[in-house]
Amino acid sequence: MKRRGLLPSPGELVFLTLGSLLMGFNVDAFLAPAQLATGGLTGISIIVNHWTGWPIGLMMLVLNIPMVLLGYFYLGRMRFLTRAAYVVLLYNISVDVLARWLPPAGLTSDILLSALYGAVVGGIGTGLIFRGGGSSTGTGILSRILQRRTGIPISQIYLATDGAVIIAAALTFGWDKALYALGAIFIWGLVADYVLDGPSTIHLVFIVTDRSPDVASALLDELGLGVTTWTAQGEFTGEPHRVLFCTVGRPDIHTLQATVRQIDPEAFVAIGHGHQARGGTLRLGAEFDRPRRETGRQESQEAAPPDGGA
């Protein structure tokens, strides 16, 4: 019987296909013409192509085969193999196929534009592959294996592998192009994270206050925010406090801060970024029933209606 999830679903297949084709287009349109070796096996192939003239896609395919086999044994067996093999074949073959249709000099002669758009297009492609349940191939596979086997943070492994490629690129193409490639790697990662997780559209707010009923009521009545509370204790003073938690959109951040400051100037407010909140969010002006409680004198142990985070 076929294992569930062994093969990509139709939705995953769309993401894997679009991401792989975008990655192949990116190499031919921006990276290779500008000699931007942005780390990994792609960067190694661009460097080797400069010295030997061997097709970039073919070299990537040859170098990726042992990496995929390593991933099969260490990262997930058949589920990993089906997705990784599909991405490798489509990505690497598309590099040499699309090179026949795109200008040899790329879409622009400006190296800054090549680095910028190469990073954006590459980041989108990588994010789509991750969303399809795939994995970055090449040195990305090797880095994940080393991280599991040694415990070294994967960021340090990436720094070592990509750093070695950047140094090789500097010795081959010059430091200017190597530094452009280094900047492209940074933007590439940001774009990939954005595509994978989406924009940071909400903020997570923690409020430590001794006037929690007043603050909670104000946030509920003025901003339409559900608030969850719990009891905490300050380690330095040993005094009990109440912690309020809610999620708020970016446009309401300053209003929330001003509201809390007006009610309790001594309140501690910590605001963090979040990507998604689901369920239970109240809308300003919406009709809802809630038990009325006395504020300012007695602190209720009952939280206001919960929002998406609680």
pTM, whole model, 2 decimals?
Answer: 0.70
Token output for 220: 């509920």
pLDDT of residue 11: 87
Strand 240-249 vs strand 202-209: parallel, antiparallel, or unpaired? antiparallel
Evaluate if residue 225 carries a pLDDT over 70. yes
Angle at the Cα of 27 from the Cα atoms of 172 and 51, rounded to 5 degrees: 30
For range 127-149, the mean pLDDT: 79
Q: What DSSP assignment string belongs to 208-260?
A: EES-HHHHHHHHHHHH----EEEEEE-TTT--EEEEEEEEEEGGGHHHHHHHH
pLDDT of residue 173: 96
Task: Give the pLDDT score at 128.
Answer: 92
pLDDT confidence tier of residue 207, bands split at 50, 70 and 90:
very high
Instruction: Quick: pLDDT tens for 238-258.
Output: 888 889 999 887 767 878 888
- How close are the terminal C-alpha atoms of the chain, in Å? 40
Residue 228 scores a pLDDT above 70: yes
- How far is Cα 270 from Cα 27, in angstroms, rounded to an integer? 43
Q: Does domain 199-310 have CATH number 1.20.140.10?
A: no
Domain ranges of the chain: 10-197, 199-310
